[in-house]
Structure 1
Amino acid sequence: MPDDRFGMLFVCHANLCRSPLAERLARRAFDDAFGPEAAAIVTASAGTRAYDGSGMHRGSAEVLAECGVDAGGFVSRTVTAAILRDADLVLTAEGDQRAACLTLAPGAVRKAFTLRQFARFAAAVPPVTSGPAAARMHRLVAEVNATRHLAPPVPAGQDDLPDPVNQPIEAFRACAEDVWASLRSVVGAITAV
């Protein structure tokens, strides 16, 4: 995307539960932080094994409604190399999905992270607080890439977002809280004063 726009792509397995939650919660987080200027940050989602054209899982839609976030109009899609190339930042639910994305688009290595991983890295860099929101996100990704080698390693699986599929609604609520906490770190890295 051009520098005055920033595309965030959230990827999970089927593009029914976690990535739709992240897409819609990210939209809310950026809208709350930047108002109309947030339109320059585009949020989208896809799945490594999606059934194209499916609706959002009812658990994710219910939790979004509880948060006051519109779940309407969502349609699942399968991630492709072209979708990955068009994104400025790819945030996956799990490391396996990150690996699948990099198999499709090896050139995405410096813009693909798990959501939790990117949130950890973003919280560790100096805040990027000047300029338009999209430009701040571009600079944040550059800062994260410049310093990611300094981050201490974490245990395997710690950066993975648990899948709530086939679980009670409480698992979807926990997933949404986890996503929201990660998004607070990301948005905080470009709004802190």
Structure 2
Amino acid sequence: MRPSIRLASAKILLGRGLLLMIKQILFVCTGNTCRSSMAEALLRKMLTEDLTEQAATIRVVSAGTGAISGESAAQNAIEVMAREGIDLRSHRSRRLSADLINGADLVLTMTLEQKNTVLNMLPTAKNKVFTLSEFAEGVREIESLINQAEKIRTTLEEKRRKYLEKEGPKLEQLRRRNQELSRQMRALDEELRQFEQKMEQQVETEKRELETIQSKLTMLEIPDPYGQNIEAYKICANEIKQKLKIVVNRIKESLE
């Protein structure tokens, strides 16, 4: 079990005015060897430095959605943390589980995808799961952004509706024309396929004759052994030798 930090309980405002007594914070990333391991170590140090005069417990842990349990932290993470005065060499990764999520009072992920993974594993945790950036920006800031997005989405849909009211008939006409042209193209493709098939049937005899001649012509060549093993070179050399014997005999015959 990892060491816990004995510190004051921290009251943190979450969601819509919900006050939670934080006793355990869980950081989540993918492999639990880089981001979440560093976040765990950094927060543990910060809490120790900032809240040493208070006397409750806040336990900081981390896990990964796709982690292989028992792996060390990434070497680069160890080196970066060393510069912060933190020894990360004893860190061992752990895989995220529903029990870990359930045992935490606050879950901070590195990405929205990881946040969704946490919520899929334990939907009841929805009021305590945030991305780290989301939580750092503050809930009010996030709610403001969500409201802005909703207003923009409403405006977008309204503009789209008005445009369709004006240009809808033309758009529908273009769609029908596109469907008709697509149908014609499919028919044309089939007609071309049948034409080419019939043409090939007409020349089938000639194609077979050509293949036979090509096969005979290939026998007149010396295959290239490049890139092959030593046996291929031996076969090539022997074939050249046999051909050269015939050449030499013909030269002799011409001199007689």
TM-score by length of 1: 0.62
1:19 is aligned to 2:12 = no
* Partner residue, 2:216: none
Structure 1 residues 58 and 36: alpha-carbon distance in aligned structure 2, compared to 1, 3 A threshold: farther
Conserved? CA contact 1:88–1:111, under 8 Å = yes
Conserved? CA contact 1:4–1:40, under 8 Å = no
Conserved? CA contact 1:8–1:88, under 8 Å = yes
Q: Number of aligned pairs?
A: 130
Of 138, 145, 167, which aligns to 1:152? 145
* Partner residue, 1:106: 123
SS in 2 for 1:52: coil
Larger Rg: 2
Q: Which residues in structure 2 correspond to 1:1-193 (within 5 Å)? A: 6-35=23-52, 37=54, 40-121=57-138, 144=139, 147=140, 150-153=143-146
Structure 1 residues 38 and 52: alpha-carbon distance in aligned structure 2, compared to 1, 3 A threshold: farther
Conserved? CA contact 1:11–1:46, under 8 Å = yes
SS in 1 for 2:32: coil
Output the aligned Cα RMSD.
Answer: 2.3
Tell me the distance in 2 between the aligned counterparts of 1:78 and 1:11: 9
The one-character-per-residue Cα deviations of 1:134-175 (angstroms, maximum 9, x if unpaired) are xxxxxxxxxx4xx576432499xxxxxxxxxxxxxxxxxxxx
Tell me the distance in 2 between the aligned counterparts of 1:22 and 1:16: 11
Which stretches in structure 1 are left out of the alignment for 5+ residues?
122-143, 156-193
**Higher RCO (CA < 8 A, seq sep 6+):** 1
The AA in structure 2 aligned to 1:40 is: T
Tell me the distance in 2 between the aligned counterparts of 1:63 and 1:57: 10
Conserved? CA contact 2:134–2:142, under 8 Å = no
Q: Which has the higher helix share?
A: 2
Conserved? CA contact 1:31–1:38, under 8 Å = no
The AA in structure 2 aligned to 1:83 is: L
Which stretches in structure 2 are left out of the alignment for 5+ residues?
1-8, 10-19, 150-256
Tell me the distance in 2 between the aligned counterparts of 1:11 and 1:38: 26
TM-score by length of 2: 0.47
